[in-house]
Amino acid sequence: MNIAVLSGKGGTGKTTVSTNLSIALNANYVDCDVEEPNGFLFLKPNIEDVKEVEEEYPVINKEKCVGCGMCVKACNFNALAKVKDNILVFDKLCHSCGACQYVCKFGAVEYAKRVIGKIECGTSYGLSVKQGILNIGEPMAVPVIKKLLNSIDRNELNVIDCPPGTSCNVVNTLKYSDFAVLVTEPSNFGLHDLKLAIELVKSFNIPFGVVINKDNGEDNIIKKYCRDNSIKILGTIPFNKKTAELYSRGEILYFDNQHKNIFDELVNNIREVLSWN
């Protein structure tokens, strides 16, 4: 069972919810926000294993290449260009699709591997925790996300900390998810991006619910939207200074007596929704 925590808008509290939810649920934690993973700042695990993530890219064998440019025409990602019968490779744009190798009649396209990121595994509070890290300057996060999610056991309970937004990175994370927790805040931006996230999650036909962070306790635009659209609110995190202080010190909210019940209630509500589906 993979529970994805996503948001649409960035900075609404995905990592706060997913780290605390992992501990409350006694579930594995998986940080798929590989461009800027930050769950380990709170979980502070001992890193026990590091695996490199490699991507394939074409290398032109100059002895075999006749400079016909078929590979350049076949590439959908502008990773190849032809200048004066020389083929130039822009490896960061390559999606490793193999089209250039397929169309080359002279066997001049070979593939090599380069490291684009890594996966770190460790233990924190007795839980198995993992994070993907995309190397600085690399434009494509999806290969790291896929390798990370292929390495986890779906028969176990896993909480997946998603990247923000509704990009390819989030879509590829949701492909592996059985339930979605959408974290938002009662602001216009929060609502706008929540709608996008809901639209995306609905396309996967998985059950989902909303968590409102920085909740002022009053009726607000998120509560109204959820009420009008029959969307389950799984929990709320109050807007107060104590929460912000614990967060900014990198502490786990669940270990604070005033905050523990917030996540216990979230766990109960998730279990309740999942028993219906």
Only one of the segments 52-60, 83-91, 124-132, 187-195 lies at the binding site for another protein (rule: CB under 8 A); that segment is: 83-91
Residues shown for the chain: 277
Residue 33: phi and psi, rounded to 5, are -80, 70
Among 46, 49, 63, 84, binds another protein (CB under 8 A): 84
For residues 80 and 78, what is the distance between their CA atoms, to the nearest angstrom?
A: 5
Provide the minimum distance between the beta carbon of 167 and another protein in the complex, in angstroms, as a whole number: 12
Tokens of residue 234, six digits: 């799984």
Among 36, 47, 66, 90, binds another protein (CB under 8 A): 90
For residues 70 and 77, what is the distance between their CA atoms, to the nearest angstrom?
A: 14
Only one of the segments 36-44, 77-85, 112-120, 157-165 lies at the binding site for another protein (rule: CB under 8 A); that segment is: 77-85
State which residue, 137 or 217, has the beta carbon closest to another protein. 137
Examine residue 89 and tell whether it contacts another protein (CB under 8 A).
Answer: no
Do the Cβ atoms of 9 and 185 come closer than 8 Å? yes
Examine residue 167 and tell whether it contacts another protein (CB under 8 A).
Answer: no
Question: Judged by CB under 8 A, how many residues of this single chain contact another protein?
Answer: 13
Do the Cβ atoms of 238 and 213 come closer than 8 Å? no
Among 83, 188, 230, 277, binds another protein (CB under 8 A): 83
- Tally of CA atoms within 13 A in the half-sphere of 275 that contains its CB: 6
**3-class secondary-structure state, position 166:** coil
Residues that bind another protein (CB under 8 A): 72, 77-79, 81-84, 86, 88, 90, 93, 139
